[in-house]
Structure 1
Amino acid sequence: MVQDIYPHKLHNEFDPNIQATQKDVLLCIVNGKILIHLNCFENKEVVFPKVKEIQIHSEYRYLFSIDSTKYFLCDMRLEDNQIPSGYGYVEERSLRIEGIGPKDNLFAAITGKHLADWYRDTKFCGRCGHKMVHSTKERAMVCPECHNTVYPRIMPAVIVGVINGDKLLLTKYRTGFKYNALIAGFTEIGETVEETVKREVMEEAGIKVNNIRYYKSQPWGSANDILLGFFCDVKGNDEISMDTNELKYADWVQRDEIILQPGEFSLTNEMMKLFKENKVE
């Protein structure tokens, strides 16, 4: 999965004293678009600009390090004359869909996008409307007027592999992502993640489930959430009643007929592969 960057290691500890140097990496991210070298689609390698390549005078926000490489955020959209030759803004999701690596750089793009979205959406206090300031003690935004403190938002969501003997329930979204997927959805307020599993399967496929067991989690900055993977078994009637507003396809698929997603990035694909190889406990 995209966060499995071993032997590289993420260091996301907050440190306001770290200042950008000319050799550090700059994640220029505006509304989900990230500045990269455009030959990445041909070479299949994400390349970010270094601080020394961006000729603007600005204080960059330290985000995290991967090994000894430090990543900083530039969240102002650059003018054409400020963009280094060969670079351009692309949708973060296009890097995933095209399967562009290396995995640690793709992970940096997705995680940087998550943080950039949060900084963008917390510029003003949701309680009193005053402009927020950066905390000097922790990764948080603080309102100097009403003292409201806002931490990075992480939304829990479930990915559900529904099993029916030697078959797995596969879906395809009505719009957007075109490859096979599993039942998925966000947890509602007051709901356990196990209850989310039951509700989402019922809403999207009209199926009851039991024997819910947790598999693995995945940070997924593309949608600002953390994905919680579960397997479960169909309970009783296995006739599918598909939610046509969200899905264009839902069916039970034999394990040897499962077509996986391109790339090895998503928890969904790993779970489908696990079932296809008959390794689900």
Structure 2
Amino acid sequence: MIQDIEPQRFNNQYSNRREPEDHDMVLSFSEKMIFAKVMDNENLLGFMTYGELQKITGCDRKIGDLVYLFSIDDTAYFLWNGDNRLTAPGYDYRSMYKTRACQPKAAVLAAATGWHLSLWYRTNRFCGACGERTVYDEKERMLRCPSCGRLIFPVIAPAVIVGVIDGDRIILTTYAGREYKRYALIAGFTEIGESAEQTVRREVMEEVGISVKNITYYKSQPWGYDSNLLMGYFCQADIPEGGDGHLTIDRQELATGEWVNRDDIPDYPEHLSLTHEMMVYFKEHGQEVFK
């Protein structure tokens, strides 16, 4: 999955760093795009170093508008939080959506996590309670309102990914109105006052119109593209005796939804998402997913 970058190590512990090293990376975002190297191979993803940023700005001192995000091994990643877009020969803004198909995987993780944090910083520049401009906290990843004292932490939306199984078949779907056109599993956000298992039951019923049982947790995944924490579950379709598991598709959410035999499940090359891992896991292990 996207976070599986071993032997490299991702460290998101907050640090009040203000002095990048020349080899550290600078991430800049504009709309739904990220500032990245222009390469002959569009599937490669690389970013500007702090040393390069110093050269293009003609500045030999600390550059303002940089916020520490996280590190991968000994390389720190900083957010360019200025109001202006960066420009430099050999670099351009490219679609965040298309980075999902890129390599190396560590760069994809950096892009997605940086995007998540950049949205949070950008949408919380002012206090939602009193309108005062917020300031950075010195000890933890938090924004503080100097006027009313409101504390603002990064928002993470819990969501479920659900593999609904009946014997050797599983429900695969395609989303309505999205760029992503490949097969996926049933998914949805957890509502207020609802457990993750209740979300599984509700989303399956809403999207394909069937009941489920034997809900079994698989694993979780951070998904910075949508600021989510995804929780993966397998469950069995609760089909009445003599029933065929007919699906009633919610066409506002799904373009398609169908039962697919495990032998026919596709194996896509990127291996980034929890959805894809669960599909392939069922393809390879069948009913062992419930053990």
TM-score, with structure 1 as normaliser = 0.94
How much has 1:30 moved relative to structure 2? 2.5
Give the superposed CA RMSD. 1.5
Contact 1:24 1:71 in 2 (8 A): yes
Does the 8 Å CA contact 1:2/1:106 hold for their aligned counterparts? yes
1:14-37: CA deviations, max 9, x gaps? 111352132211011233311011
Please list, as runs of the form range in 1=range in 2, the aligned pairs for 1:97-108 lying within 5 A after superposition: 99-108=101-110
Give, in whole Å, the separation in 2 of the partners of 1:103 and 1:111: 12
Q: Provide the residue aligned with 2:60 in structure 1.
A: none
Deviations, residues 140-186 of structure 1 (Å, cap 9, x unaligned): 00001110001111110000000011000000011211000000000
Distance 2:32 2:134 in 1: 21
Deviation at 1:121, TM superposition (A): 1.1
Structure 2 partner of 1:232? 235
CA distance in 1 between partners of 2:156 and 2:67 (Å)? 19
- Give the alignment of 1:259-278 within 5 angstroms: 259-278=266-285
Q: What do the CA deviations read for 1:113-157 (whole angstroms, capped 9, x no partner)?
A: 111011011111111111111111210000011100011111100
**Could you tell me how far apart the structure 2 residues matched to 1:144 and 1:212 are?**
46
Q: Corresponding residue for 1:92?
A: 96
Secondary structure of the corresponding residue to residue 98 of structure 2: helix
Contact 1:61 1:73 in 2 (8 A): yes
The answer to whether the 8 Å contact 1:25/1:71 transfers is yes
Counterpart AA for 2:130? C
Identity, % of aligned positions: 43
- 1:206-264 Cα offsets, whole Å, 9 max, x none, are 01001001000000000001100000000124210000111111011000111233411
Verify the 8 A CA contact 1:19 1:62 in the aligned structure 2: no
2:190 corresponds, among 178, 187, 190, to: 187
Name the CA distance, whole Å, in 1 between partners of 2:228 and 2:31.
Answer: 16
For 1:77 and 1:151, locate their aligned partners in 2 and report how far apart those are by CA, in whole Å: 22
Report the TM-score, using the length of structure 2 for normalisation. 0.91
The gaps in structure 1 that reach 5 residues or longer are: none
Aligned length, in residue pairs: 276
Tell me the equivalent position of 1:71: 77
What aligned pairs does 1:198-209 form with structure 2 within 5 A after superposition?
198-209=201-212
Matched, 1:131 2:133: yes
Counterpart-to-counterpart distance in 2, 1:113 and 1:59: 16
The answer to whether 1:197 aligns with 2:200 is yes
- Equivalent residue of 1:113, what SS? helix
Q: Which amino acid aligns with 1:142?
A: R
Q: Is the 8 A contact 1:180 1:260 kept in 2?
A: no
Asked whether the 8 Å contact 1:30–1:116 carries over to 2, the reply is no
Contact 1:141 1:149 survives alignment (8 Å) = yes
**Matched AA of 1:91:** S
Task: Point out the more displaced range, 26-35 or 155-164.
Answer: 26-35
Cα deviations by residue, 1:12-70 (Å, 9 ceiling, x for unpaired) = 11111352132211011233311011216x16321101112223442310111100011
